[in-house]
Structure 1
Amino acid sequence: MEEQYRISDPRVLKAVAHPLRVRLLGLLRMDGPATASELARKVGESSGSTSYHLRELFKFGFVEEDDEQRDGRERRWRSRHRYTSWNAAEMAATPEGREAVHIMHLRQIELVGRVLERFDLDEWPREWVDVAGMSDHLRTLPPAALREFHEGAARLLDELTDRYQGHPDARTVHVWLGAAPRPEDL
C-alpha cells in the first residue's frame, strides 16, 4: 500500500467525497481488504450499492482488487493508499475546487461526529477516558504559525507512533487536527 494519494483534480476529490465512498475507503484502510457484501453489512447498505461505489473508487484510483485474497466469485477490494491529501489553496483556484474542498471538510466533520458519538465512556478504562475527547483553543496566529503548528504536530505524532509501536496498551486511535479562522459573527 502506498503512503498517500495526493489529489490535484477537483473532480477526483468530489468523487471520493461521496458519504458512502468516504466510509468504504476508510473501512478498507482500517480493516483491510473486503468484499462488497462484507462492507454492505458494516455500513447497512445493499451489496449492489457498495459494489457500485467500490467501482467508482476504483475508477478514480483509490482502491484496487486484492488478487492475493480472492473470495470465490466475489471480488475483494483493498485501499491503494494509507491516506488522501490535497492542497486546499490550489483546489480553491476554481469554483469546482472550492466546492470539492468544502464537501470534503463536511465529510471529515461527519466522521468526527460518528466516532465521538460511538465513544461510550462506560466501555473504556479510566486511562482512555482521561485522554480521549476534544479540546478547543482560540489563539491569534498568522498563517505561518499555523503551518508550523500542523507540521510540528505531525512530526510529534510520527515520533510517538514509532516509540509506542507494539506497546500492549496501544489501540488504533483517531487523531484530528483542525484549524480555521474564526468568523467575526461567531
Structure 2
Amino acid sequence: MNEAFHVTDPRALKAVAHPLRVRLLGTLRLDGPATATELAAKFGESSGSTSYHLRQLAKYGFVEEDAEQRDRRERRWRAVHAYTSWSNTELSGTPEGREAVAFMRRRQLEVLRATVEAFDRDPESWGAAWVEAAGMSDDVVRLTPASAEALYGRVSALLREFEERDKDAPDAERVSVFVSAHPVRGYVG
C-alpha cells in the first residue's frame, strides 16, 4: 500500500466525502482487502450498494481490485493508500471543495469520538498499560501557520519512526492518533 494520496481535485475529495464511501475506505485501510458482500454485511447495506460505492472510489484512485484474489469468482477490493491528504486552500476554491473539506473534518471528529467511546466502554480488556497510555491532551500555544504545518510534518515523521521501532513488538496494537491544530480567539468550549 502506498503511503499517501494527495488529493488535488475537489471532485475526488467530494467522491470520498460520502458517508458510506469514507467508511468503506477506512475499513479497507484498517482491516485489509474485502469483497462488496463482506462490506455490505459489516455496514448493513446491500452488496449492490457497496459495489457501486467501491467502483466510485476506484474511479478516483482510492481503491483497486486486490491483485492477490483468494478466489477468481469473488472481487476483492483493497485500499491503494494508507491515508488521504489535501490542501485546504487549494480545495476550498470552489463551493464543492469547501463542502468536501468541511465534511472530511467533521468525519475525522466522528471517528475520534467513536474511537474514544469504544475504548471507554471496556478499558479493562486492554490491560493496565493501555489504560494508562491511552488518552488525550490539549494545549494552546502561539504558532505561525508555517510552524503549524511544520508541526504536522514532524509528528508524522515521529509516528513513522515509532511504528518502525515497534513493528515486531508483541504488545504493539493499532493506535489511532489524532493531531489537530486550529487557531482560536478566546476560549472555545
TM norm. shorter chain > 0.5: yes
What residue number does 1:39 align with? Answer: 39
How much does 1:80 deviate?
1.2
Give the alignment partner of residue 137 of structure 1, picking from 136, 139, 162. 139
Deviation readout 1:40-93 (Å, 9 max, x if unpaired): 222222222211211111111111112421535331111111111111121122
> Would you say how many aligned residue pairs link Structure 1 and Structure 2?
186
Deviation at 1:153, TM superposition (A): 1.3
Structure 1 segments unaligned to the other structure (5+ residues): none
SS in 2 for 1:176: coil
Instruction: State whether residues 2 and 80 of structure 1, in contact with CA within 8 Å, keep that contact through their aligned partners in structure 2.
Output: yes
Paired with 1:97 and 1:86, the residues of 2 have a C-alpha distance of 11
Aligned counterparts, 1:11-160, within 5 A: 11-119=11-119, 120-160=122-162
Give 4+ residue runs of structure 1 displaced > 6 Å after superposition.
none
1:40/1:50 contact within 8 Å kept: yes
The residue aligned with 1:9 is 9
Give distance in 1, aligned partners of 2:11 and 2:153: 27
TM-score (norm 2): 0.91
Structure 2 segments unaligned to the other structure (5+ residues)? none
Deviation of the 1:3 alpha carbon = 1.9
Task: Give the TM-score, by structure 1 length.
Answer: 0.92
What is the distance in 1 between the residues matched to 2:12 and 2:39? Answer: 22
Instruction: Spell out, residue by residue over 1:87-123, the C-alpha distance to the aligned partner (whole angstroms, 9 max, x if none).
Output: 1121122222222111111111111112111112122
